[in-house]
């Protein structure tokens, strides 16, 4: 098994062969991927060395100390945090070879086509249809591969669709079975004819989200992930990784939203009150508990795939962001109500800490919706983590076509 010393040796060889100061950024990232130092726990040939996930920090520390470029992970968070682990688990060898390298180095950005206007919290009720053009089977997992699927429907709240080359897409391929059973998972080319991306302007004035209309979009069967009708099972891998990516990110002490308000508290003593002091202390402790819990969760991931525990971390992330940003606005008083830029923009990424308090307050409102609503995540924690009785579900055995809408 590859150990820390071996990774340090390989990293030194990479730096010697491709000095960061004189190597093109993209060329360096490709060389890093090919050396197995991109995500060390992935298989050899796919950016990794089959090493323990916990050893990634060894490589990252060596490269950071050498001034090597990173792959700007925030720009392609959906690709790195959600699409890649799903492709690794369910993709064919051809799909893994085609998509993982350009995804990791940042040549190709990904988005997620899951939620719909009528299927947000109840994602399994989605209505976007994918029909086999060749008339072949659309429900049997034994169906032969080949031919195209024709997709029609609408998706919503798609982060970064305006900057994306590829999308992970779930669509209904069989309306005659219960909703969870008739879904298939695809990779959609966002540059194909029939893909129409339209901005959704948010309360911040920006439009990082989109609605996406799919009109007779042709997807080759070679871009199907997993078996026909198994899309819900495949999507669980995506969703579990999404919640960990959002709520379990690695942060230093006072990283994230608690950092700016703590800095203001130290530098602006004239703003302090006893009540705000007590609230800040509580939120500081809560943030530190969440940070350490996220570290523990990442250590558990070394042994396998993320599970429902990520839902709890995402819940904590949303609550803390909203409470901290609200406290910051109160602390700053009138200046906390100012917002620097209402211009309609199409950002590549969300920058919580590089903007002013007004932006953080407004943008954090979306945290309890994106990546699964807090209400849905509470159910997941209750049923799949705590083992509490499940809510009654009267539609689980009803064919999708017969559901009330």
- Among residues 255, 250, 242, the alpha carbon closest in space to that of 298 is found at 250
- Write down how long the chain is: 405
Which helix or strand (DSSP H or E) is residue 89 part of?
helix 84-90
Active-site entry in 242, 288, 335, 391: 242
DSSP type of residue 130: E
Q: Which residues have a Cβ under 8 Å from the Cβ of 66 and sit 6 or more positions away?
A: 15, 20
Cα–Cα distance between 149 and 303 in angstroms, integer? Answer: 37
Under a CB-based contact definition with an 8 Å cutoff, are residues 169 and 113 in contact? yes
Gap between the Cα atoms of 331 and 340, Å rounded: 18
Q: Crossing angle of helices 274-301/231-247, nearest 10°?
A: 130
CA 222 to chain centre: 24
Q: Is 335 a catalytic residue?
A: no
- Alpha carbon distance 79, 112 (integer Å): 9
C-alpha–C-alpha distance, residues 209 and 26, integer Å: 27
Is residue 166 helix, strand or coil?
Answer: strand
Residue 126 burial by Cβ neighbours in a 10 Å radius (0-12, 13-18, 19+): buried
Asked if 317 and 283 count as a contact pair (C-beta separation under 8 A), the reply is no
Pairing of strands 148-156, 209-220: antiparallel
Give ∠ CA 74-365-360 in degrees, rounded to 5.
Answer: 60
Packed helices 25-34 and 93-105: angle between N→C axes, nearest 10 degrees: 140
Alpha carbon 207 to its chain's center? 18
Nearest CA-CA partner of 5 in 47, 62, 69: 62
Q: Tokens 């792959």 map to which residue?
A: 71
Catalogue the active-site residues. 242
């Amino acid at each position: 098994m590859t150990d820390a010393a071996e990774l340090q040796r390989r990293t030194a060889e990479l730096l010697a062969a491709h000095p960061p100061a004189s190597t093109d950024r993209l060329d360096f990232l490709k060389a890093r991927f090919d050396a197995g130092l991109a995500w060390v726990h992935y298989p050899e040939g796919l950016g990794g060395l089959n090493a323990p996930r916990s050893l990634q920090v060894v490589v990252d520390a060596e490269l950071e100390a050498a001034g090597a470029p990173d792959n700007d992970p925030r720009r392609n968070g959906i690709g790195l945090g959600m699409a890649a682990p799903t492709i690794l688990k369910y993709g064919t060898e051809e799909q893994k070879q085609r998509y993982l390298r350009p995804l990791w180095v940042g040549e190709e950005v990904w988005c997620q086509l899951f939620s719909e206007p009528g299927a947000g919290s109840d994602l399994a009720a989605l209505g976007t249809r994918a029909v086999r053009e060749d008339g072949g089977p659309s429900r049997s997992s034994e169906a032969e591969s080949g031919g195209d699927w024709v997709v029609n429907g609408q998706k919503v709240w798609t982060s970064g669709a305006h900057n994306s080359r590829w999308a992970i897409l779930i669509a209904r391929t069989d309306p005659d079975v219960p909703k969870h059973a008739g879904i298939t998972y695809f990779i959609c080319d966002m540059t194909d004819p029939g893909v129409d991306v339209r901005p959704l302007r948010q309360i911040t004035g920006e439009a990082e989200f989109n609605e996406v209309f799919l009109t007779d979009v042709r997807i080759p069967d070679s871009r199907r992930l997993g078996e026909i009708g198994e899309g819900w099972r495949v999507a669980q891998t995506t969703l579990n990784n999404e919640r960990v990516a959002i709520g379990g990110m690695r942060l230093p002490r006072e990283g994230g939203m608690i950092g700016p308000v703590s800095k203001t508290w130290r530098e602006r003593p004239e703003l302090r009150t006893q009540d705000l002091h007590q609230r800040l202390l509580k939120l500081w402790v809560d943030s530190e508990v969440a940070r350490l819990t996220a570290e523990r969760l990442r250590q558990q991931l070394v042994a396998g795939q993320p599970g429902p525990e990520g839902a709890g971390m995402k819940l904590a992330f949303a609550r803390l962001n909203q409470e901290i940003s609200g406290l910051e606005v109160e602390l700053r008083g009138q200046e906390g109500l100012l917002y620097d830029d209402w211009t309609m923009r199409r950002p590549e990424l969300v920058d919580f800490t590089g903007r002013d308090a007004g932006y953080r307050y407004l943008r954090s409102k979306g945290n309890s919706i994106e990546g699964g609503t807090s209400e849905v995540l509470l159910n997941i924690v209750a049923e799949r983590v705590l083992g509490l009785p499940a809510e009654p579900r009267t539609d689980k055995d009803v064919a999708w076509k017969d559901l009330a809408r």
